[in-house]
């Protein structure tokens, strides 16, 4: 059940984020599915244990499958395609998560100043995490 | 004068049922994933760029099998419960099957989680 009533349909921040939360949930399922299927296609059944497979499915970074029986991760498991996949997953997950933090925060903090401050801090955290994460993706 | 108020423990009895438990767990799991992912991203940065000791310490925690049991529980629950929320929001006429949907969700969760954990324990016992 929704934590708060669904916002009125219309062009408002609250409604756009409500829709975004649902769409990004579905998109994360889709991206995870692609990662999982392609992992099996590349031989995960013989080469990757279940823990590493779960990590890879959630976030297809070559570091997530280095301690497995894959002979050479640079063959298929580490390339620009997966970097784009990682950036997409990361963008959706962090935005979804940080907006979730905002929703929870605003359910408990009612006054205007507290909300403005909270929104500012959460916005900065969001940008900060995006920059650090994308740096790590591009450098790995 | 007799006491007219009903004094007792009834008021604090938990009456929300399955869906409310799911809602509370959804909030907690969402926050936990933000915390987990945030720390993991920052520590990966320090690991990758500086090989820092703090990052190594955090990775040791993350790699422990008990920690992984918790993370898998939290992520799997949030993803399944989120899917239920999305489906019921897209087709509001299904909301009358809310309780059944919550049961179905646990029916999917328990074998999936149980199997994953069992395989992980077996691998651990084999020294894998
Ligand atoms: C397949 C993956 C996921 C799905 C399907 C999903 C689905 C959802 C849905 C539908 C909601 C709205 C709940 C409501 O309105 O009551 C939600 C809230 C939330 N999600 Fe996710 N989510 C996923 C992954 C994530 C990830 C990776 C994070 C963290 C980085 C996250 C953090 C949160 C937070 C903090 C909330 C706010 C909880 C609340 O408002 O009570 N989620 N999720």
Q: Encode pLDDT of A102-119 as tens digits.
A: 999 999 988 889 999 999
User: Tokens at residue A106, please?
Assistant: 């605003």
Which pLDDT does position A106 carry in this prediction?
Answer: 92
Which domains does chain B possess?
Answer: 19-127 (1.20.1300.10)
pTM of the model: 0.88
CB A7 within 8 A of CB A18: yes
Percent of the residues in chain A that have a pLDDT greater than 90, as a whole number: 66
CB B50 within 8 A of CB B41: no
For a mutational test of ligand 1's pocket, the pick from B25, B26, B74, B86, i.e. the residue with the most ligand atoms closer than 8 A to its C-beta, is B26
Which pLDDT does position A48 carry in this prediction?
Answer: 85
Nearest CA in chain A to B21: A1
Which pLDDT does position B9 carry in this prediction?
Answer: 60
Q: What is the CATH number of domain A13-139?
A: 1.20.1300
Q: Collapsing DSSP states into helix, strand and coil, what is residue B62?
A: helix
Q: Ligand 1 centre from A21 Cα, in Å?
A: 7
Q: Is the pLDDT of residue B13 over 70?
A: no
Mean predicted confidence (pLDDT) in B4-33: 76
Mean predicted confidence (pLDDT) in B13-37: 86
How high is the ipTM of this complex? 0.90
Of the ranges A79-88, A119-128, B51-60, B70-79, which one carries the lowest mean pLDDT score? B51-60
Query: Cα separation of B29 and B43, whole Å?
Result: 21
Q: Ligand 1 centre from A34 Cα, in Å?
A: 20
Which residue among B34, B44, B89 places its CB closest to the CB of A101? B34
Mean predicted confidence (pLDDT) in B40-56: 91
Cβ-based neighbour number of residue A68 at 10 Å:
17
Nearest CA in chain B to A98: B34
How open is the CA angle A1-B79-B100, to the nearest 5 degrees? 45
Q: Which residues of A touch B64 (CB under 8 A)?
A: none
pLDDT band at B46, cuts 50/70/90?
very high
Partner-chain contact B44 A136, CB within 8 Å = yes
Q: Diameter of chain B by CA atoms?
A: 75
Query: Cα separation of A42 and A61, whole Å?
Result: 15
pLDDT band at A1, cuts 50/70/90?
very low
Across chain A, mean pLDDT equals: 91
Q: Which residues of B touch A1 (CB under 8 A)?
A: 19-20, 22-23, 85, 88, 98
pLDDT band at A2, cuts 50/70/90?
very low
Which pLDDT does position A50 carry in this prediction?
Answer: 86
Model pLDDT for residues B59-116, shown as the tens digit of each residue: 899 989 999 999 999 999 999 999 999 999 999 898 888 888 989 999 999 999 999 9
Query: Cα separation of A18 and B12, whole Å?
Result: 32
């Amino acid at each position: 059940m929704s934590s708060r009533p669904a916002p009125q349909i219309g062009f408002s921040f609250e409604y756009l984020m409500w829709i975004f939360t649902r769409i990004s949930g579905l998109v994360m399922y889709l991206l995870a599915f692609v990662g999982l299927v392609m992992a099996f296609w590349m031989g995960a059944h013989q080469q990757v244990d279940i823990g590493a497979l779960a990590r890879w499915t959630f976030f297809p970074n070559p570091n997530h499958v280095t301690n497995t029986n894959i002979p050479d991760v640079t063959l298929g498991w580490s390339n620009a395609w997966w970097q784009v996949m990682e950036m997409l997953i990361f963008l959706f997950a962090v935005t979804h998560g940080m907006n979730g933090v905002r929703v929870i925060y605003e359910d408990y903090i009612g006054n205007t100043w507290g909300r403005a401050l909270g929104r500012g801090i959460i916005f900065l955290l969001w940008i900060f995490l995006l920059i650090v994460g994308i740096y790590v993706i591009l450098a790995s | 004068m007799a006491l007219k108020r009903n004094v007792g423990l009834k008021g604090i009895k938990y009456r929300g049922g399955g869906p409310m438990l799911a809602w509370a767990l959804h909030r907690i799991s969402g926050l936990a994933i933000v915390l987990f992912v945030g720390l993991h991203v920052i520590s990966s940065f320090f690991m990758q760029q500086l090989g820092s000791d703090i990052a190594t310490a955090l990775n040791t925690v993350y790699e422990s099998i008990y920690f992984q049991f918790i993370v898998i529980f939290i992520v799997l629950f949030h993803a399944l419960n989120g899917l239920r929320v999305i489906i019921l929001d897209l087709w509001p006429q299904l909301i009358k099957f809310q309780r059944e949907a919550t049961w179905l969700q646990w029916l999917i969760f328990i074998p999936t989680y149980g199997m994953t954990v069992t395989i992980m324990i077996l691998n651990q016992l084999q020294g894998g």
